[in-house]
Amino acid sequence: MMELAIDMPAGPSEVLVIADNGANPAFTASDLLSQAEHGPDSQVILLTDDENFAQRVIEETEKQLAQLSRAEIARKALSASRVVIADSIEQCVEISNRYGPEHLILQTRNADDLVDSITSAGSVFVGDWSPESAGDYASGTNHVLPTYGYTATYSSLGLADFMKRMTVQKLSQQGLLGLANTIETLAQAEQLTAHKNAVTLRVNELKKQNQE
């Protein structure tokens, strides 16, 4: 019998890079390819507000691709990948939050400032010197991450996933009296009479004791 769940919704690997024209196209291309070489179904997306920069990344990607040991696999992944030219970096962030990538790389001049705007991502890599492969192998963050947009509701694997928790509560007499009206009102609204009675009986008993 399973006593503890340790899995999560995880599918083909994903990377989304948000970059402006201050980024290094070679770095950006290498990060896109790092994900593409995982498998032909890997999802690779570049969001930028600069069309010229996007073209430079595409050219650099082709250049680096020729040198890869898994070039054919990466090429298949890239065939279904996307480069999106947005109106602004803020729009790039909005698109990314809706997509919710497994790996999100921020390569912009204000990369640190963007972190607080990110609401859905499995793991975020900030700045030019934070390649996604560092997270895979050595930087210390967990490599087991949600995909398929599940970053909106799931987090990366952590210590809490290997623990089973329970809650314990003990109400004092005054504590119950303070909550009684709320409990009775909600129970009555749900037509759960026994729930209401469990409180009402105790309240009446306390009133009786106070009168004696």
Catalytic positions = 102-103
Q: Measured between alpha carbons, how far is 42 from 67 in angstroms, rounded to an integer?
A: 19
Please give the distance of CA 211 from its chain centroid, rounded to a whole number: 57
Q: Measured between alpha carbons, how far is 157 from 3 in angstroms, rounded to an integer?
A: 17
With beta carbons less than 8 A apart as the criterion, state whether 121 and 105 touch: no
Burial 177-210 (b: 16+ CB within 10 A, else e): eeebeebbeebeeeeeeeebeebeeebeeeeeee
